[in-house]
């Protein structure tokens, strides 16, 4: 085993097989798994976030799975602090630990540090929220495209919370949101090995479509129905729930809502790919690669 603390991080698009790989690696290295999927923190959102099932949770010890409520304010900054504290504890037991997730911002927060943004006038957010309600999300997306194309190309622009957050920084500071990113951060007391899973686009999209079908069969509509009255919460500005809220309100048919979930999930996967492809440190494998070959690569880096 290495003397140096090492965090093996598994990344890639939604439905690519990250959970299955992370469990096999955790079993091999006899370690725990830090989940950094920003949607799986919430205990009220099980089906729509593809939380590991009971067998998977037993197969390896997971942290930050359904440990929060949608009614709590839990930001990427909070997660960074909590994850680093947990890793410090875990590294005393084993110098190798695993992190897994498709939320690039949350991965970067743990590995590099969270970017600090200046305070801006709260009235800007109020006005942007009003604009969202009155004119729709497309107007805000166009504003961000004009003010900060770099951020527009990298954040989830169909997430109103993320969109408004980026815009309020642009408007409130007169600078781009992206200009506050990638500043020097506190050094980490561990090294990182990043493993990415990929597939041809057609295969990936087929896996996403099938996952959505399984979610619907597993009761996603009933789960979303229970959460509909809380639809304004930030945690629920999420693919799989927003579309069903539109169905409950009579704006979509059930069939159209399901197709929208598939379409928006595919768009989300595309954005994940854009985010992770920028990182030259990621070692990429086909999603069907034999685990023993991935382990062999990791062990040469330890």
Distances (CA, A) of 232 to 68, 107, 296: 17, 26, 46
Here the CATH number for the domain that contains residue 159 is 1.10.20.140
Same domain, 27 and 128: no
pLDDT tens per residue across span 151-168: 999 888 988 988 999 999
Q: Is residue 1 part of a domain?
A: no
User: How many domains is the chain built from?
Assistant: 2
pLDDT tens per residue across span 193-251: 999 999 999 999 999 999 999 999 999 999 999 999 999 898 999 999 999 999 999 99
Same domain, 108 and 131: no
Q: How many CB atoms lie within 10 A of CB 165?
A: 19
Domain span at residue 15 reads: 6-114+185-301
Same domain, 167 and 27: no
Q: Look at residues 42, 195, 176 and name the one whose alpha carbon lies nearest to residue 115.
A: 176
Same domain, 168 and 68: no
Same domain, 38 and 176: no
């Amino acid at each position: 085993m290495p003397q140096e603390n090492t965090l093996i991080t598994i990344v890639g698009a939604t439905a690519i097989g990250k959970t299955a790989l992370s469990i096999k690696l955790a079993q091999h290295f006899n370690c725990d798994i830090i989940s950094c999927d920003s949607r799986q923190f919430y205990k009220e959102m099980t089906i729509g976030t593809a939380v590991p099932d009971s067998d998977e949770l037993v197969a390896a010890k997971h942290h930050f799975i359904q440990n929060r409520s949608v009614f709590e304010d839990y930001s990427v900054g909070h997660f960074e602090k909590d994850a680093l504290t947990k890793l410090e504890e875990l590294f005393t037991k084993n110098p190798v630990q695993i992190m897994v997730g498709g939320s690039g911002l949350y991965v970067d927060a743990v590995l590099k540090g969270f970017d600090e943004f200046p305070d801006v006038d709260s009235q800007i957010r109020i006005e942007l929220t009003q604009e969202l309600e009155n004119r729709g999300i497309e107007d805000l997306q166009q504003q961000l495209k004009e003010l900060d194309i770099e951020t527009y190309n990298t954040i989830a622009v169909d997430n109103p919370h993320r969109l408004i957050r980026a815009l309020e920084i642009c408007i409130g500071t007169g600078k781009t949101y992206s200009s506050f990113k990638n500043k020097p951060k506190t050094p980490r007391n561990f090294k990182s090995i990043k493993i990415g899973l990929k597939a041809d686009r057609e295969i990936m999209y087929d896996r996403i479509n099938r996952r959505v079908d399984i979610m619907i069969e597993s009761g996603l509509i009933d789960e979303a129905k229970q959460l509909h009255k809380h639809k304004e919460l930030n945690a629920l500005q999420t693919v799989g729930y927003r579309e069903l809220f539109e169905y409950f309100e009579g704006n979509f048919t059930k069939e159209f809502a399901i197709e929208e979930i598939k379409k928006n999930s595919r768009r989300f996967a595309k954005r994940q790919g854009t985010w992770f492809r920028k990182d030259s440190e990621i070692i990429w494998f086909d999603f069907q690669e034999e685990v023993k070959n991935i382990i062999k690569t990791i062990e040469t880096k330890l």
